Structure 1
């Protein structure tokens, strides 16, 4: 028998073997089958993705079907889904990922193997018929688009990742790709923003983890990740640390916690089991809990990550009979705070059931628990897209989860109008001959429908409006800058200026606005293929070969415009012949 001296403080502390935490007793409870949706035929494509996204209004699931459809289900719907349930007929090839806009619960982005990403608007109450016309079609990647990610604080900023190892940052209010990051040597496996969106975190097939400045393309930090050859994933934690999942050389799954300044030396790592499924970390920044979900697994592990050694604390594992095929993680705004619910996961199975898993903290009191629900990220963006692209950063705007506080805060503010289809492009600049900005040619023809007549009896009149809009568009310049040390290239949108720099050749060797010196690219800087070009100025000193090259490029550009207009005219003609103008009115 061990005897401890009476009154010894260090002996008393030594006897406290149980870690003190308010999340130590978190448990998971599955919603009964009648409270879930069934017969959702989730896609069976062989791609590492969650295939599901959820917000307080809708559940989106990528489903089987010709092309790349995904289904949008109102969050309160239960029971069996009809076989003829409307879908978003999104792509011509399998859809790979969907992501809801954090600032508008009716707007969703999708990407596909058809090399496109698209923006969609879902009306309140869900779809009454299948949706085929997007708000915006984003065209830039040369290979399949593997991921889409919204900026956490800036409005209308979307990131797309392609199998061409390129990353594009878009201003979806204008449809322009303003930044291109190229330089990854192989396929990009995962990507994530930090808390305020000032940094990017990527994992690549070359087993490297990189921290990148998204506006300049500069690699801030990089280091070797997990040793296994299978895909690995990494996310930023709220305090800037990095949590990653991957495989060992023996194909054992593991997780690791890393410091941004020392990526190659994990603070802590642990091997879990042997399985082929990639582990997806789902992170709750408010509580510090991380949920590890693997496709093909029947269990979900959850941990608490804090600053107390060993930093990653195992809590529990939820196990169910059916393996998961897709996973959706509900934002904090959609939880039932009156029942101390701290997380909700939508688990899609191969049998068509979407199981709802709720995580609770047991409390005796029925009052609102302030310590469990700090202010969380709301639906108001902290900055605009233009401010972010110009170098500004801001933390997310937080809102209280307590219902009475939320109502009292909104009562003193004017009610903000809901963003509708016409309003998501409200920031689009007017196309005036003297304007310095323009609408990018990457914009979808669906965006051109905004100016099309809604019930025009004449097909020629609709064509005239579209052609007139093309004629009035004034192009902006886009320059390529490179950081030779890092090998990362960016495509940046620039306003034309009335100086020597605007000529495209004079002054091109000066310092850029990002601090990089572009003299190495000045003599052979390519024009952006996706941006319309300014009408060539008459210069008697211009080389005839250069003049012919410019005219050839201009002819090819006009041919592409004509082909797009011809496709649009055929669509309008089919709608008019079928006496169905509803799609045109909603465009």
Structure 2
């Protein structure tokens, strides 16, 4: 641009990213090798959770942010799932509570110890939620109401839970393929989803109604969605039919076509979008590469600000809640970048020299206080998130112990008794439902095995029929040719009679009919065979 060109004014135009050194990172991690498209990590002001590669069931690790450097070989894990953990999420209103979703179709809730003991062998869940029929790929807490959790599964449903009561409150249906991502709007009244059927949907979650639907990215790879704060706008990342990475901006009142669509590059990894509603900055972190692009949203435009580049590719990423950034260093965002065996903090900073609080770049942020209870929200009440002034900086609050009224789901080996009250009836219901789910899964596996065996049997029958038909139509091998010839054309090779004698002698005539002619003998040399 020439020196007379217009430069759009922005407080965040010079934001730059800085990666922490190795001794200030979280090293010696066994990050899960599962192929499910997930962020692999979650973070809050106190802890970092990482999907863990473990044997004997699924597990994840919760690491205090103060525990930097190389972790010990035997680190205490959160165990309870029987399949790999696919996603985790921290409760935004209680930093000591984390939720997990797994391939075992379960959602589990965990209390994080205030005093962390590295010698502790494992942590067990405080609540298990059963209801999904297949693996749970995403878990996401409500942004406004306390103790409300959404979970998305490959059974094509999204379920809403009251985790305090341990109850499923709503099931969202309408997807025809696997759900790839979901996002709450600003006040938590709507959920947007992307799906493998290449459709973008917006649901009124409490009524299970699709309020808007349209065609999303047309590529066959993954797609992600994020809501742009309190604006009625969505951003999706995905791929075109030609497998180019795309960035689309949508009006939530009309999903027929995007407001803007931008070509990014031809890399193969999905872009993970993160939006800061306070600064109106959008961050795109590409899986499998080391780049983080960041934009500023204004008046239906996404203005590209800059890029953070690293030679180390990222497998996943999470962003710190805004209430815990370091305002004294003018840090406007902090990402946690997942590598093969390490998680590295990446700080995004506005370069300013003053040590005073910069109120123009730090507007009030979403707080850790809920605006509604779960009951209020499920009864239809809405509210915007509560905000907090960042000038005082982040302070650690006293731990709130999470004590659900529902008990941890018992195993099938637990002795059952006749239900006597509502609590017993609920426990009996969950036990029967689990048994029913196990039977369905067993029958499904048997049906699949039967279909495979039937298919193999049909193939064998077809091969046998083809072989039988081929044998019937196969000609007799002709190694020699037997010929009847006029005896007048055959010279008397025996030399013991004339032609007339041969015609009258039946034995001679029989020999003539059995004469064999070989192609290798010149001038029709005749070889007589035994009579």
Partner of 2:170: 179
1:445 is aligned to 2:434: no
Unaligned residue ranges in structure 2 (runs of 5+): 439-531
Report Cα offsets for 1:69-109 as digits up to 9, x if no partner.
Answer: 11111101111111111111141111100000000111000
Residue in 2 that maps onto 1:287: 279
SS of corresponding position for 2:376:
helix
Is 1:103 the equivalent of 2:93?
yes
**Structure 1 residue 130 displacement after superposition:** 3.3
CA distance in 2, matches of 1:532, 1:264: 46
Work out whether 1:163 is the aligned partner of 2:154.
yes
Quickly say closer, same or farther: Cα 1:153–1:559, change in 2 above 3 A.
closer
For 1:206 and 1:558, how far apart are their aligned partners in 2? 30
- Runs of at least 4 residues of structure 1 off by over 4 A? 530-533, 556-561
Report whether the alignment pairs 1:94 with 2:90: no
- 1:230 paired to 2:221: yes
Output the aligned Cα RMSD: 2.7
Please name the residue that 1:579 is paired with.
none
Q: Distance in 1 between matches of 2:434 and 2:254?
A: 52
1:471 equivalent to 2:450? Answer: no
SS of residue matched to 2:86: strand
Whether 1:424 and 2:403 are equivalent positions in the alignment is yes
| Cα distance, 1:417 vs structure 2 | 6.0
> Which residue, out of 293, 299, 310, partners 1:301?
293
Structure 2: how far apart are the matches of 1:558 and 1:107? 26
Structure 1 residue 284 displacement after superposition: 0.7
Deviation at 1:559, TM superposition (A): 11
Which whole-Å CA distance do the structure 1 matches of 2:424 and 2:186 have between them? 34
Find the residue that maps to 2:122 and give its secondary structure. Answer: coil
Matched residues in 2 for 1:75 and 1:559: separation?
37
What TM-score do the two structures reach when normalised by structure 1?
0.70
Per-residue displacement from partner, 1:143-166 (whole Å, max 9, x unpaired)?
A: 111110100000000011110001
1:28 aligns with one of 9, 13, 17 = 17
Partners of 1:157 and 1:221 lie apart in 2 by 23
Partner of 1:254: 246
CA distance in 1, matches of 2:417, 2:398: 32
Contact map agreement 2:43 2:318 (CA 8 A) in 1? yes
Q: After superposing the two structures, state which structure 1 stretch, 326-335 or 140-149, moved more.
A: 326-335
- The yes-or-no answer on 1:400 pairing with 2:389 is yes
Instruction: Say which SS state the counterpart of residue 143 (structure 1) adopts.
Output: coil
Residue number in structure 2 paired with 1:570: none
CA contact (8 A) 1:103 1:381 kept: yes
**Cα shift at 1:317:** 1.1
Q: TM-score, normalised by structure 2?
A: 0.77
Alignment of 1:105-184 (within 5 A): 105-128=95-118, 129-184=120-175
Would you say the 8 A contact 1:136–1:446 is kept in 2?
A: no
Q: How does 1:190-269 map to 2 (within 5 A)?
A: 190-238=181-229, 239-269=231-261
What's the CA shift for 1:418?
3.1
Pairing 1:318-329 to 2, within 5 Å after superposition: 318-329=308-319
Task: Please tell me whether the aligned partners of residues 129 and 409 of structure 2 are also in contact (alpha carbons under 8 angstroms).
Answer: no
Partner of 1:491: none
Go from structure 1 to structure 2 and tell me whether the alpha carbon gap of 1:474 and 1:32 turns closer, same or farther (over 3 Å shift).
closer
CA distance in 2, matches of 1:60, 1:85: 13
For residues 250-293 of structure 1, the C-alpha deviation after alignment (integer angstroms, 9 at most, x for no partner) is 00001011101221221111111112211110111111111101
Closer/same/farther in 2, CA of residues 386 and 361 from structure 1, 3 Å limit: same
1:90/1:302 Cα in 2 relative to 1: closer, same or farther (>3 Å)? farther
How far off its partner does 1:16 sit? 4.8
Give 1 or 2 for the bigger CA radius of gyration: 2
Provide the rounded CA distance (Å) in 1 between the counterparts of 2:42 and 2:117.
Answer: 16
Q: CA deviation at 1:229?
A: 1.4
Aligned pair count reads 431
Counterpart-to-counterpart distance in 2, 1:417 and 1:373 = 25
The aligned counterpart of 2:68 is: 78
- The alignment status of 1:382 with 2:371, answered yes or no, reads yes
